[in-house]
Amino acid sequence: MDKYGLALHTSSPELGLALSNFAGDSRDHTWDLGRSLSTHLHQHLADFIEPQTWTDLAFIAVAKGPGSFTSTRIGLVTARTLAQQLGIPLFAISTLAAIAYSHYIDEASSLEKNAIITDLVKAVDLPAQRGQLFAAIYQVNQVNLGLIELLPDTVLMPEAWQQKLAQFPTISQIIHAPTNLGTSVSSVLELAYLNWQQGKLSEWSEALPFYGQHPVDY
């Protein structure tokens, strides 16, 4: 297409940005910014989007968490402001879904060209506060190669997570999410693009964060 999609991932100290027209022109980059994310985000964003301009965007995607409360909030506020000012859709994508999708893409790319991809069920967990885990379970949708939520993003103790896993014997992979999450920004963009292709035009006001716990940074 002539227009581009832009994705922001700020759910960890690692900033991830991705841009694509889904027709051969794509790029992504990550920066380990730590606590300086809030002061450097806008400059990195302005530099990254060139030579494209804001009017070249068809939609924006943003990682909605779980992850760092402060960093996630910064990304959501930035993405909501941009989408509102530009009058374009904004898709809030789960951090855990992006990780699951990244692993699926890596797995699919390693298969033979004509190999049949069977149904894949992936469980993802990420350390939370107070000894708990953020967790979710997804199945690859063989129709559009998106993800189907079998267990939406939730927070629970490790023992309860093990009990949940036992309820899904078809799980093909259990993924322990890394500390820095920005490298999955391309998957945030791809999942949003699947929604955009299906005509799901999410308003900026509908893009809400998933914190899961009392808002504290970690």
Domain count, the chain: 2
For 103-156, how does the pLDDT look when each residue is reduced to its tens digit (9 = 90+)?
888 877 766 544 545 558 999 999 999 999 999 999 988 777 789 999 999 999
Whole-prediction pTM: 0.91
Question: Are the CB atoms for 210 and 64 separated by under 8 Å?
Answer: yes
Q: Are residues 114 and 190 in the same domain?
A: no
Q: Is residue 137 part of a domain?
A: yes
Q: How many CB atoms lie within 10 A of CB 87?
A: 7
Q: Is residue 212 part of a domain?
A: no
Q: Are residues 60 and 131 in the same domain?
A: no
For 45-103, how does the pLDDT look when each residue is reduced to its tens digit (9 = 90+)?
999 999 999 999 999 999 999 999 999 999 999 999 999 999 999 999 999 999 999 98
- Residues 210 and 15: their CA atoms lie apart, in Å, by 18
Q: Are residues 8 and 86 in the same domain?
A: yes
Q: Give the DSSP per-residue string, 35-103.
A: GGHHHHHHHHHHHHHTTS-GGGEEEEEEE--SS-HHHHHHHHHHHHHHHHHHT--EEEE-HHHHHHHHH
- Residues 106 and 129: their CA atoms lie apart, in Å, by 29
Q: Are residues 99 and 150 in the same domain?
A: yes
Q: Are residues 153 and 163 in the same domain?
A: yes
pLDDT of residue 217: 45
pLDDT of residue 143: 73
The two tokens of residue 136 are 């979710």
Bond from prior residue into 169 cis (ω within 30 degrees of 0) = no
Q: In which domain, by residue range, is 164 found?
A: 95-176
Q: Are residues 79 and 115 in the same domain?
A: no
CATH number, domain of 106, equals 3.30.420.200
Q: Is residue 218 part of a domain?
A: no
Backbone angles phi, psi at 71, to 5 degrees: -65, -45
